[in-house]
Chain A
Amino acid sequence: MKGIYIILFTVFFAALINTGCNKKLVEEPQSILTPSFFATTQGFQQGLDAAYAGTRLFWGNQTYFTLTVIGTDEFKRGIDGNSNINIYSSGYDAQNGDVLANWRNAYTFINTCNGLIDNADNVKDIPDATKKRMIAEAKFLRANYYFILVQFHGDITLNKIFQSTPSTSAVRDPMSEAYKFIIQDLKDAIAALPAGPKTGGVLPGKVNAAVARHVLAKVYLTRAGSKAKEANDYADAYTTANDLINNRAALGLSLLQDFGKVFEEGNERNSEVLWTSEHTSNLAFNGPNNSGVTNFSADNVLNHMWVGQYEKKEVAVLRSTLYGRPYIRCTPTLWLTETAFAERVNDTRYNKTFQTVWYANSTNANDYPKWKSPLPPGAPAGAVVGQPKFKLGDTAIYMPGVNKTDAEIAASTYLLIPPRKYDATLGPTMFKYFDTKRANLNFPSIRPVIAYRLAETYLIAAEAAFMTGKITEAVTLTNAVRERAAFPTGNAVSVRIQASDLSIDFFLNERTRELCGELVRWLDLVRTGKLIERVKAFNPEAAGNIQPKHILRPIPQAQIDAVVTGEPYPQNAGW
């Protein structure tokens, strides 16, 4: 009988354990956040912050730089840059990593914006006014992300609502639908956002109605040049941009007197700036700090992109934080420096855009080039065979911007590089993004990136005015930008243009002079239908390769591969 009791006890004991156990099968996530967090006050705020953080993947990131700057009439591939996409060779195909990354980046943060906008009604304890403004911010950001996609790819998938359940199907919606959605988002944003970047309480980097107007004008202008164009697009672009310009004083906005101050380090909050994608010297919040992208956190690497191999010229210029990490992704075309920027006296912008001189900074005597015997004809008076040509702090490399003969080059104390000697390793170096305050030579920039500024508003308005026959207005608006380019040494009157100067090519040239390197060129060329013509004319490496299909970026192969339900995802023509 004793055995029976033991059995009963055992069964009872086992049953006892069992009853408490099913609760054990409930998940206890204590270190992760789930999508329902968006429906809380704090989640709503943090979601919006992430939607802003997504802008770093475009303004400042190498991917967006690659897609917008190189392979144009302005810049060609630098020796350290990726070749295929820059020169449109056959290796540039639907598997291109930059095209995929850009596509994925935009959609990831579109979905973040969707999550906020769709959850807004569930968030109860945010004051209505605050909530409205936050929704407007999300809509502005969403419009920007879609605008990027539609310009690169044409017809795109238009997700208007939060994607919270996994789906392996996707369709391409017409470009016209995307533009309508973008315009509505921007209109909604304008209605609810604070007036401008200088309006009280608007933190640096926060969006505002002024920048929303600027983007809306740009969207109209862009749509006007696309297959989705509508009759009033140029007129709407003009009105929208012009309204902003006319209102500028009230908003505390104005063109700076000196073009050179616009991109001055530390002056990113100047009155010409409409909106920036932010970065900070607080490294924990600046990005992954590996000069790249990790988990959708991106660094501003624009400071590195244009820096040539100055240190390899053997002229006592060593790698330094000032001159930058010499790993050159792109170099100016001869058209850019010699034609677009041909005027350098009255228009000061060439000298305020390009670095053309490097000073010796090596403290090692062996690094200094020495005069060889015999001394070249025309050598300077103090030249002595076997002695260094120059010393610490002297000019070591100089690009005069005009031709020099071989004899002049040989006789020069410093390395003299005339335009015919520019190559993929070194040319005039775009220094709008130089950053001397970053932590280390190899580090990414801590400077905010100016995404939109008032000078472009003028050029948008001018181009739209020209397209709608408002020639006088077009001339006035353009001259506003050109006159300040003369400051301080040029003659402001002589840089003015006449109605007869205007043409679409003129506007492209003017945008080059004003906006060179500001992540807009490829899109400008596509908008104006001039990509192929101008690349063929001005970018020798890419000229032989570019084809009509290149005016759209391919749909990333990974996107096509992942659509396994429903209709296959269509590729762009020719890819």
Chain B
Amino acid sequence: MQRRLHYYCRLKKLPLWVGIIFCYMICVSTAHAQSTTAGKTVSIKGTITNQSGEPLHGVTVSIKGGSGATATQPDGSFQIEAPENSTLVISSVGYLIHDIKVGSMDQPNFLLRLTENKNQLDQVVVVGYGTRKKSDVTGAIVSISEQAIKDIPAANLAQTLQGQGAGIDVQKSGGNSKPGATPSILIRGSRSVQAGNNPLIVVDGIPFNGNINDLNQDDIVSVEVLKDASSTAIYGSRGANGVILVSTKRGKTGRPVVSYNGYAGTVRALGEYPMLNGEEFALFKRWALVNGIYQNGVPKYTGIDDARLAVDGLSSEELEGIRTGRSTNWQELIYKPGMITNHQLGVSGGSDLTQYAISGGYFKETGVYPGQDFERFSVKLSVDQKLGNRFKVGLNTLNTFTTTNGESANPMAAALRSSPLASPYDSTGNIYNEYVPGSASQVWNVLGNLIPGASVEKRKRFGTFTTLYVDVELLPGLKYRFNSGAEIRSDIYGNFYAARTTNNQGAQSTAQNRTNLRTNYTLENILTYDKTIRKHKINFTGLFGFQEQKEQNNEFRNTNVLADYLQYYNPALTATITAGDADFKKWDIISYMARVNYSFDDRLLLTLTGRSDGSSRLAPGNKYHSYPAFAAAWNISKEKFLGNVASISNLKLRASYGTVGNANIDPYQTLGLLSSVVYNYGDVTTTGVYPSTAPNPNLAWEYTSSANIGLDFGLFGNRISGSVEVYKQWTNSLLLPQTLPASSGIPNRILTNVGKTENKGFELQLSTVNLPSKGRGSFSWTTDLNIFLNRGEITQLANNVTKDVANNWFVGSPIGVHYNYERVGVWQNTKEDTAAAAALGLTVNGVGSVIGQIRVADLNGDKKIDPNNDRKIIGSSQPDWEGGMTNRFGFKGFDLTIMIFARVGGTLFSSLQGGGFVNTYQGTYNNIKTDYWTPTNHQNYYPRPNANYTNSPNRDLLGYFKGTYVKVRTMSLGYNLPQSLINKLGAKNIRVYATAEDPFILFSEFRNKYGGLDPEAGGSSERPSVATLNVDTPPNWSFIFGLNISF
């Protein structure tokens, strides 16, 4: 199925968005106040803060058309004498200029919250290996401000970024909503199938290899996402999937500022999975027996009313359940509200020579299933010190200790399948810690897991990420920087499951124990040179860098722990060590880079980048690859012919082209592999090895070339600002794992450099100030909006085949499609259908009959259903478009922020309906509630219950759903206490707020019609492009109260 692109046509399908956009565009007022002068002067004393109420230092306050001016103190305070009825102009880098009418009275308690300027030209943007003024940027970069990060009190940065920028696609990995879970991040779609699609994260200039949970987002001041090749080429070997540059807080010169931010709240399940109740399940079981039990070739039962069905297939416990009308809701028994809390205390300040920032944070979230929680302690210190005129040194250290409990605790297969007719308790009221009667002796009572100590899973992770730099000014304009970073992480994992839990179902207890130590260091030598000759500005950056990572894992698995309380702590005190495993991985990258930025008269800008990387992970002879990139930009608004158009405050056209590489694969793939297998000759035991992977002596870089055209604009004094991007990417020499024919005897897939993919897309990022703040009493409203779409496709596969079914790759389709039969309903018990099924060679009589089962199309019409000709691409994980919108309102100290995002189109696969064990229609255990087929209910969607089949044939086809949804990510209402009250308390700022996270999901067919809970399904972090929702503990929403205070 070939999808053609109609970017702009697609946009027509945006009624919701378009309506909203136009609505507020109309509201944007361009009226400006006129200033007048009079003889009298008034005194204005007050404070200027940002939107979250934090004081701003160094804000210029001047009198329009007059001569007086002042700047705010570190606590945001200022005082100025101004003529009556004059206008104050309040300006600061990164904020919109505010004109405030003075009036004729003294104002001792003036308060103004500045509105952020999304597109100010003087604003400094962090780019790779340096910073640039926004007006000088030539690449496609999304900046996410501290404000935007603060708006979303989430567990980790990835969740915070969801919906915040065009081209950034953040999804829960496999729908995993457990505390401590990390979402998958895709920037501009997915291009690689094996070398990963995860963007590179760079923290304070050094590549960060930790988990996103290892960062405390309270320590972050800004995030820039580099999207096009010109921006990312500077990270050459690792930038192909985009780069996320994270800057953490550093101290500022001035009096110490002490701040505290904290919140606490409750976490609730988004809902329950729809299961059959007791009565419904009894009927379901009967149908399964009627349809599926044959004796010597004939149905055992005469029909649903056969008297034998009153007892057959039902355990005595269930019979009692039927008699007493019992209907156990197993989900209700295991869900309980969780909680979420976060505290961050910081001190920052400094002198002209020394600046510092210290902070400590604590975060904890508990899930809706007992035993799942995530906790993080973090400590950060940064110091910058000038040494004389030429030298500057700085240190930044981020340290976290996290504990995750129950990261894979998933009792849902047991909880959902348990017979609702059975009781979880025995006659004495104790937990009946056994197989649940009537559930095919496979479903253990889930309450057994909740007995303290029975089910333990803990991950403790300690790590430091420390960067150190030395700056030397060698000559005027020539600087050398030595930048280094070290990351050391220790990760200790253990689990223990007692015998009588869903994990072991009465067999021996099991324990597992894993330790991991990872060290990573980066050394960079950077030389920069700046020179301005009249209208020509030149900036040169040269780099030599080196990075090495070593990782070591050890693992033990044991059964029959001698005493349950020992848990996983001592493998020696177990009856059997069933397996041990370990690995060691090391990789290195050597990099050379040079970049020249040239600008003429600030109007024409040019960036040339060259980078060469060597990777240890590739085959000898193919280790190095070079990456060129260039970009140009034209500041049209600085041209004379536009100089007079007052409404255009910024207009810049950008174009870039470049190549970036990717070799983010496991080491040693070039070498082949022997795997181990155990055996014995009588009492002589041995470990054998067999070839499982063949060596590939030709493995080389995968690289992506991309072209990007962008337009930045700012209208009406940047009241409306934003950018539009159009891009195309070509990925070559794809690192493709190839499934070899099994007859080769090599069972594992082999990495090879074959194949190509393309991605193209459109992105719009828009910020508007609908109503600017005019002081404390006024109503203000700003909007950030982004809309983006990406179309990926595989354009070439190995040996020029057009499809590789074994690996699910198809030329002309995106990575991550769903390839299967086409479901066309259910085979009905009619003459026509029976004849049609028989004509296809399908079994229509007896126990294997297809009647009442899912019907699939004979696509090629050859009167045969076969996997070669009758499967097709029935959907893809790729959405038609996505977008996010944040509206911020302010009024009299109140602020309201609503952030929503939408994902429209695409297909998701849900294991609840199409996999797992909860929709098998076998009737041996509980099933999700559906309007299933019976000989008299001729509905055409759900098949008949059938005891004959472990899984109803083609049941996987029930798992595909439209992926569209709109999610209200955050609704937050805050209040800044009045200055008078704050002053009495001796504080600079106090804000309280209440936030609902993920409160609503709209327009989701999956949720509204088919019993799903949350359609948000990204792939795994390894394979983010394949969206699957697993049957897992339910997704949740939370409601929190918070406090920000600074002194």
Using a CB–CB cutoff of 8 Å, the interface residues on chain A facing chain B are 3, 6-7, 10, 13-14, 17-18, 21-22, 24-35, 37-38, 43, 46-54, 56, 79-80, 82-84, 87, 89-91, 93-95, 100, 103-104, 107-112, 114-115, 156-157, 159, 162-170, 203-206, 278-280, 282-287, 289, 295-297, 311-312, 314, 319, 326-327, 334, 423-424, 439-443, 540-541, 543-545, 556-565, 569
B777 to chain A, nearest CB (A): 57
**10 A-B residue pairs with CB within 8 Å:** A3-B474, A34-B695, A38-B691, A83-B847, A87-B846, A110-B745, A111-B745, A166-B746, A561-B739, A562-B806
Cα A204 to Cα B684 with chains together (Å) = 9
The A-contacting residues of B in range 599-632, CB under 8 angstroms, are 614-617, 623
- Which of B474, B679, B680 has the most C-beta atoms of chain A within 10 angstroms of its own C-beta? B679
The verdict on B824 contacting chain A, using a C-beta distance below 8 Å, is no
Count of chain B residues with Cβ under 8 Å from any Cβ of A?
109
Residues of chain B lying within 8 A (CB to CB) of residue A286: 678, 680
Cα A230 to Cα B732 with chains together (Å) = 54
Q: Please pick, from A91, A312, A423, A544, the residue contacting B297 in the complex, using a CB distance under 8 A.
A: A544
The answer to whether A296 and B675 touch across the interface, beta carbons within 8 angstroms, is yes
Cα A6 to Cα B546 with chains together (Å) = 22
Cα A283 to Cα B682 with chains together (Å) = 13
Residues of chain B lying within 8 A (CB to CB) of residue A326: 441
Residues of chain A lying within 8 A (CB to CB) of residue B694: 35, 163-166
A-B interface pairs (CB < 8 A), number: 332
**Contacts known (A33-B689, A159-B743, A295-B675); A545 close to B868, Cβ less than 8 A:** no
**Contacts known (A30-B584, A203-B681, A562-B741); A284 close to B579, Cβ less than 8 A:** yes
Q: Please pick, from B527, B667, B683, the residue contacting A280 in the complex, using a CB distance under 8 A.
A: B683
Closest to A86 in B: B848
**Contacts known (A27-B670, A564-B799); A49 close to B679, Cβ less than 8 A:** yes
Residues of chain B lying within 8 A (CB to CB) of residue A3: 474-475, 478
The answer to whether B690 and A14 touch across the interface, beta carbons within 8 angstroms, is no
The answer to whether B742 and A558 touch across the interface, beta carbons within 8 angstroms, is yes
Residues of chain B lying within 8 A (CB to CB) of residue A7: 474-475, 478, 480
Cα A32 to Cα B583 with chains together (Å) = 7
Closest to B865 in A: A90
The answer to whether A34 and B865 touch across the interface, beta carbons within 8 angstroms, is no
Closest to A172 in B: B743
Residues of chain A lying within 8 A (CB to CB) of residue B293: 79, 423-424
A12 to chain B, nearest CB (A): 11
Cα A439 to Cα B583 with chains together (Å) = 30
Q: Which of B22-30, B503-511, B931-939 contacts A (4 or more CB under 8 A)?
A: B503-511
Residues of chain B lying within 8 A (CB to CB) of residue A80: 440, 950
Residues of chain B lying within 8 A (CB to CB) of residue A560: 868
Q: Please pick, from B676, B804, B847, B950, the residue contacting A82 in the complex, using a CB distance under 8 A.
A: B950
The answer to whether A111 and B675 touch across the interface, beta carbons within 8 angstroms, is no
Cα A29 to Cα B587 with chains together (Å) = 10
Q: Which of B94-102, B409-417, B456-464, B837-845 contacts A (4 or more CB under 8 A)?
A: B837-845
Closest to A421 in B: B295
The interface bits of chain B over 802-823 (1 if a CB of A lies within 8 angstroms of the residue's CB, else 0) are 0011100000000000000000
Cα A108 to Cα B741 with chains together (Å) = 11
Closest to B554 in A: A31
The answer to whether B679 and A52 touch across the interface, beta carbons within 8 angstroms, is yes
Closest to A571 in B: B868
The answer to whether A32 and B673 touch across the interface, beta carbons within 8 angstroms, is yes
Residues of chain A lying within 8 A (CB to CB) of residue B614: 22, 25
Kindly list the 9 A-B residue pairs having the minimum CB-CB distance in the complex, ordered from nearest.
Answer: A111-B745, A89-B848, A50-B688, A49-B688, A204-B682, A540-B297, A203-B681, A53-B679, A157-B743
Cα A79 to Cα B295 with chains together (Å) = 11
Closest to A539 in B: B297
Residues of chain B lying within 8 A (CB to CB) of residue A115: 691
Cα A498 to Cα B711 with chains together (Å) = 98
A81 to chain B, nearest CB (A): 8
Residues of chain A lying within 8 A (CB to CB) of residue B833: none
Residues of chain A lying within 8 A (CB to CB) of residue B478: 3, 7
The answer to whether B744 and A170 touch across the interface, beta carbons within 8 angstroms, is yes
The verdict on B857 contacting chain A, using a C-beta distance below 8 Å, is no
The answer to whether B738 and A168 touch across the interface, beta carbons within 8 angstroms, is yes
The verdict on B968 contacting chain A, using a C-beta distance below 8 Å, is no
The verdict on B578 contacting chain A, using a C-beta distance below 8 Å, is yes
Cα A145 to Cα B1030 with chains together (Å) = 38
The verdict on B912 contacting chain A, using a C-beta distance below 8 Å, is no
The interface bits of chain B over 765-808 (1 if a CB of A lies within 8 angstroms of the residue's CB, else 0) are 00000000000000000000000000000000111010011100
The answer to whether A35 and B672 touch across the interface, beta carbons within 8 angstroms, is yes
The interface bits of chain B over 581-596 (1 if a CB of A lies within 8 angstroms of the residue's CB, else 0) are 0111110101000000
The answer to whether B841 and A562 touch across the interface, beta carbons within 8 angstroms, is no
The verdict on B279 contacting chain A, using a C-beta distance below 8 Å, is no
Residues of chain A lying within 8 A (CB to CB) of residue B297: 540-541, 543-544
The answer to whether B588 and A24 touch across the interface, beta carbons within 8 angstroms, is yes
The answer to whether A545 and B747 touch across the interface, beta carbons within 8 angstroms, is no
The answer to whether B315 and A423 touch across the interface, beta carbons within 8 angstroms, is no
B533 to chain A, nearest CB (A): 20
Residues of chain B lying within 8 A (CB to CB) of residue A46: 686-689
Cα A487 to Cα B316 with chains together (Å) = 44
The interface bits of chain B over 712-745 (1 if a CB of A lies within 8 angstroms of the residue's CB, else 0) are 0000000000000000000000000011111111
- Which of B315, B623, B680 has the most C-beta atoms of chain A within 10 angstroms of its own C-beta? B680
The verdict on B891 contacting chain A, using a C-beta distance below 8 Å, is no
Residues of chain B lying within 8 A (CB to CB) of residue A562: 739-742, 806
Residues of chain A lying within 8 A (CB to CB) of residue B154: none
Closest to B473 in A: A3
Cα A43 to Cα B676 with chains together (Å) = 11
B912 to chain A, nearest CB (A): 22
B754 to chain A, nearest CB (A): 10
A360 to chain B, nearest CB (A): 16
Closest to A89 in B: B848
Q: Please pick, from B294, B480, B505, B740, the residue contacting A10 in the complex, using a CB distance under 8 A.
A: B480
- Which of A46, A168, A556 has the most C-beta atoms of chain B within 10 angstroms of its own C-beta? A168
The verdict on B677 contacting chain A, using a C-beta distance below 8 Å, is yes
Q: Please pick, from A35, A83, A558, the residue contacting B806 in the complex, using a CB distance under 8 A.
A: A558
The A-contacting residues of B in range 508-566, CB under 8 angstroms, are 508, 523, 525, 527, 544, 546, 548, 559-560
A330 to chain B, nearest CB (A): 14
The answer to whether A285 and B685 touch across the interface, beta carbons within 8 angstroms, is yes
The interface bits of chain B over 41-79 (1 if a CB of A lies within 8 angstroms of the residue's CB, else 0) are 000000000000000000000000000000000000000
Cα A285 to Cα B687 with chains together (Å) = 8
Closest to B679 in A: A53
